[in-house]
Amino acid sequence: MHDGSFDRVAASYDQQWTGTPIGRAQRELVWRHIDPLFRPADRILDLGCGTGADAAHFTGRGIAVHATDPSPGMIEAARGRGGFTAEVLRAEEIALIQQTFDGAISNFGVLNCVNDVAAVARGLAGVVRPGGHVAICTIGRCCVWESLYYAARGQFGKAFRRFRGSAPSSLGVTVHYPSVAGLRRAFADFELEQWMGIGLFVPPSYVRMPGRLVAWCSMLDRVLAPVPLLRALADHRLLIFVRVGHAG
């Protein structure tokens, strides 16, 4: 059931995250990896679309997007961008969508707020065609930026909260931190093609950093965030799956 947590931040979300230098840098790093997955005239599902920044990006590339989010406030903001369809829908309710898609995206921690990721993965398997890509960006279990940032301030509970596997957020929502191995098991109907870090040098949103320095960090991310071992230390993890099976 929707509890209104994200409705309360919908009006300020773009100002606090999407439009900031850090928010733009992390999102552009995600786009850099997933843009090649989809072609003009494809139809994709944006699961947990928030204010619709990703949906607008792909619509601008000639891709048809159907966006969903459990927050009416977020959907209202997303519809304000125009160019794509949007509806209020929980991630666990994907099976209610009577459509087939060429692929799907779920960006910036949507699945971290879901209690049963495997159920969501099964729903995606029912609406994404065989051979279609699903790109999910989750909050990582180990973030070197977060650990160092809060440890330096003596806030050790926050510094190592991700290692516990789950923790309450400032919005009152429990955030889960699944491992890559756990996500791979949950997406049993998909094959994991690749995964990389997002935000290894680009810090989390609560870190204050000049825009020029963020740009330099983004350049380092492009080179080093996909590297094994290093990628596991990033703020987010981007996993790219392909739906297995045969059409028809």
What pLDDT does residue 245 have?
A: 85
Report yes or no: 120 and 94 within 8 Å, Cβ to Cβ: yes
Q: Of 114, 49, 116, 111, which Cα lies nearest the Cα of 84?
A: 49
3 state DSSP class of 215: helix
What pLDDT does residue 64 have?
A: 98
Q: What is the pLDDT along the chain (248 residues), one digit of tens a residue?
A: 455 788 989 999 998 999 999 999 999 999 999 999 999 999 999 999 999 999 999 999 999 999 999 999 999 999 999 999 999 999 999 999 999 999 999 999 999 999 999 999 999 999 999 999 999 999 999 999 999 999 999 999 999 999 999 998 877 789 999 999 999 999 999 999 999 999 999 999 999 999 999 999 999 999 999 999 999 999 999 999 999 986 54
How far apart are the C-alpha atoms of 20 and 158, rounded to whole Å?
23
CB 138: neighbour CB atoms within 10 A?
25
Q: Cα–Cα distances in Å, from 162 out to 27, 39, 128, 147, 166?
A: 21, 36, 31, 9, 6
Sheet holding 128-139, edge to edge: 85-88, 64-69, 43-47, 101-106, 128-139, 236-243, 190-198
